[in-house]
Structure 1
Amino acid sequence: MGQKFHAFMFPWFAFGHMTPYLHLANKLAERGHMVTFLLPKKAQKQLENHNLFPHNIVFHPLTIPLVDGLPPGAETASDIPMSLVQFLSTAMDMTRDQVEAAVRALRPDLILFDLAQWVPEMAKEHRVKSMMYNVVSATCIAHDIVPGGEIGVPPPGYPSSKVVYREYDAHALLTLSITYKRFCYRLNTCLTNCDFIAIRTCEQVEGTFCDYIERQYQKKVLMTGPMLPEIEKSKPLKDKWSQWLNGFGQGSIVFCALGSQITLEKDQFQELCLGIELTGLPFLIAVKPPKGEKTIQEALPEGFEGRVKGRGVVWGEWVQQPLILAHPSVGCFVSHCGFGSMWESLLSDCQIVLLPYLNDQVLNTRLLTEELEVSVEVQREATGWFSKENLSGAIMSLMDKDIEIGNHVRRNHTKLKEVLVSPGLLTGYTDKFVDTLENIVTDTTV
């Protein structure tokens, strides 16, 4: 057991970043280390329940400054559309004085961060070691590490001809173009100036991409594994869902969830509902109400509720995704392929259908679909939108036992899952990572 240390954590202000940071904090606290977790004030309430060691993990709330263009009260990426993300980045940068004051007062040994490019410089001034801990995929990082590069074009030496953007990814690339150069500058600055690089991944899924990043920055890339919490037996699936899911046969239900950042246009939302209805299978769709609508019900296609009564539910609020995926009746997961959902899908027994929207989700999708061949992607129109026929066809290509692509994907997914859940593999990554941190903080040569 190494020497006890005190780590600061300062993730990007999005729950998809803060949550895996907190899972890692729990692993550090379990070994007796102290963590000061810097986050927006309002986010603390939503994360408190995931703090398993409140004596060792102390939340340090930050006041989010007023920024022109950022709606009043917005503190995390969930509070804003993607088009306003640069204003949240500005607000995060403006918390530097608060972060520095905390560093000065509490003297941590190490600060883990992801997108605040000024952290390494500040850390050096206070003789604190800095680690860029990335909770997005190594695939995405490797693709976007050239600041000012051409949008959607991989850098020289990029290790895959399959994990790339296609012409029909214009919808993602348009979003990407708004903040692309700024993002690449931040990413490159962080990777160049930090003392250490870590990524929430493992060799078996993204080893070649981690090797590429190591060569680019001449720094060892440490891997933590997917850093997912164990499905808590103390918090079972809510009765509402367990009773409904129990009413269907094994592996028969299609579960669709698109994450907290995606809000569909109304016609796209309706196409999603109609496409899943077309399969004839029982289904649960959990997505936010579409743009311009307050509730899911008022946005549903005409006559939809009557047609799917008894076999389909559309839900506009949060659900216990890992527990639903683990239910034996769920056989297919339609996902946006955000990095957390990507890992949850790989560790499930479900067939995987991918419908990416944002740039990193597109690259994650290509990793699973074309590199690893464990999923299928919904075909897009030239406009970047999908049709109900293409969505239904993608689902049935995996759910129909007579179609070979489904059997091929299932075999590959089963093999990969067996590797990932083999005894000690993922906990081994975490243990090795914590051991490395213990050595890092005591190494006076760094």
Structure 2
Amino acid sequence: MKTPFAITLALLLATPAFADWDDTLAAARGQTVYWNAWGGDARTNAFIDWVGTHTEERYGVKVEQVKLTDTAEAVTRVLSEKSAGRMTDGTVDLLWVNGPNFLAMKTQGLLHPPFVADLPNARYLDLGPDSPASVDFTVPTEGMESPWRLAKFVFTYDSARIDTPPATMADFVEWTAANPGRMTHPDPSNFMGATFLKQALIELAPDMAALQSEVNDDAYEAATAPLWAWYDAIKPNLWRGGETFPENESVQQQLLNDGEVDIAMSFDPASAASAIMQGLLPETVRVYTPEAGSIGNISFVAIPFNAAHSEGAQVVANFLIDPETQAHMQNIDVLGSFSVLDPAKLDAAAQARFEALPSNPALPELADLGPTLLEPHASWMTKLTQDWTRRYAQ
């Protein structure tokens, strides 16, 4: 005679979700997942290698990272395959994607049908309609992206050279005038430079709510007028007179390390602590956010509509949100990226694993990062960077 527990377990295992996942695991075994991901950070690349080692050991799923300099490269490839009629056996299995690139893929039908709710580890996520795990730059993910790491815009500065960094974006006008050449930002063609402009836009715009809707000409002109006046004021006092800009945040970090500038920026609150541990920044570097808060979002992975190994991609996406994986990722000795899991959904053992993680003087607590400001609609980023190029790079 079966016990009530055995009957309950049998019923659970008979549900379509569990049965489908067993089928997914079986189909995934032996697959190699080609994960297209930005390759500009050595520790992220090492973490992806670690993921592949463990998914191969546990599930027989290999991971090959296709290192991108720009996510749009992979999006263009998927679009080209669709245009050529390649509806199956695509070359991209999993893609680290956000914002405008996700919007473009969703709009053009380049994404795998919703899959996140079917991942067993999705039970650790807050998937409410307004949760950051369900919205990407104001665009509902509708289960077509799975979260894997938390991102938040921060400034890094050398406390040996600066006592009090600018508390607001508006304060950069006075600070750069008093410290000419000691600050710059990555070129806005890079997402970090674009994020710097968006942070200023959010703080300076007369109506922040307007940024949450798709951009139109009238709203754009009203919202950006204070931004361009602000930028015109700081540009002459930027590094090299604002006539040239570092290619990306890694180059800007090197400028901070070399003492050419005093302030840099990142979309990873743990990046400074990580760089110090690697000898890439002085031990006096610290992290802060503007007093009103800073832009934050979640990094997602998506599966293209024609992925050759979609089952393996789902296995990798599920592994990424395993509490053990998330705690390993958040360890500053590994990557230091904050977890996307809902702490209230974790059991005591998982919570203890996070509480035992090491700290670092340059690693802020989550509470120290202040309010999280919503990303503008993805269309604002596209128009903003185009306008910057027209105004300042021609």
User: Which gives a bigger RCO, structure 1 or 2 (Cα 8 Å, sep 6+)?
Assistant: 2
| TM-score (normalizing by structure 2) | 0.31
